[in-house]
Amino acid sequence: MAHLPPPEEKARAVRAMFDRISPSYDRVNRLMTFGADQRWRMALVERLAVSPADVVLDLACGTGDFVELCRARGALAVGLDFSRGMLQQAAARSGETAAWVQGDALRLPFRDGAFTVAVSGFALRNFVAIPPVLAELARVLEPGGRLGLLEVDRPGNPLVAAGHRLYFQKVVPRVGGLLADRAAYHYLPESAAYLPEETEMVRMLREAGFRRIRKRRPMFGAIQSITAERR
């Protein structure tokens, strides 16, 4: 995978990449998914039953999609991201700066049990390591707190899988390169290689302290939407 950085350079490379593409990130995302990315986020927020009683962490928040959706349901929401460029876009979009925190998912700057809900969208493959991130999420969630994760997935149907590979590996890099940054939109499809298989993901979640793990697969299995509960 020519566009994947070596492990020792991943954090630096990913942060620099998202800083570069932050001005065009929303526009390209909406185009690439035909606006479906927002529907997937909204469906996950509804499954988590986010309400005015909740305090929500949006981990790797990007430009703040989940924060916006959770606030629309009355929750208090905070977004954390590694990329300053993404946070600047989130602040400009929301018109405020207080809700956005720059930080590392491996060392979250929040007290134990600070949140009732945590969400993260399309970020797992960008972390240096997934298990310690899940452990940090469990730490900052109160017992019984809810977790929601969105990521890409591998469709099980052979025909769907073939179409998905063509779009994800050929169309996305070409269009992303034309509209934003060629290297970034080669990395993003290839980075799915960092994702664990379903059984391994379930094991990681359980070892981190989660139970009641549920997975849905929208877009014919090309997306995975996971919910879990902190023990």
| Residue 105 marked in a binding site | yes
| Residue 135 marked in a binding site | no
pLDDT at position 106 is 96
Q: Where are the beta strands (DSSP E) in 70-222?
A: 76-81, 100-102, 115-121, 141-152, 210-216
Query: What does each of the 231 residues of the chain score in pLDDT, given as a tens digit?
Result: 457 898 889 999 999 999 999 999 999 888 888 889 999 999 999 999 999 999 999 999 999 999 999 999 999 999 999 999 999 999 999 999 889 999 999 999 999 999 999 999 999 999 999 999 999 999 999 999 999 999 999 898 888 889 888 888 888 888 888 878 888 888 988 999 999 999 999 999 999 999 999 999 999 999 999 999 999
| Residue 58 marked in a binding site | no
Q: Report the DSSP pairing between strands 141-152 and 210-216.
A: unpaired
Six-digit token string for 19 = 């800083």
Enter the CATH code of domain 7-230: 3.40.50.150
The angle subtended at Cα 166 by Cα 121 and Cα 66, nearest 5°, is: 10
| Residue 97 marked in a binding site | no
The DSSP secondary structure of 29-75, one letter per residue, reads HHHHHTTHHHHHHHHHHHHTT--TT-EEEEET-TTTHHHHHHHHTT-
Work out the number of other CB atoms within 10 angstroms of the CB of residue 39: 13
pLDDT at position 110 is 98
For the chain, the domains span 7-230
Distance in angstroms between the alpha carbons of the first and the last residue of the chain: 37
Q: Report the DSSP pairing between strands 223-230 and 210-216.
A: antiparallel
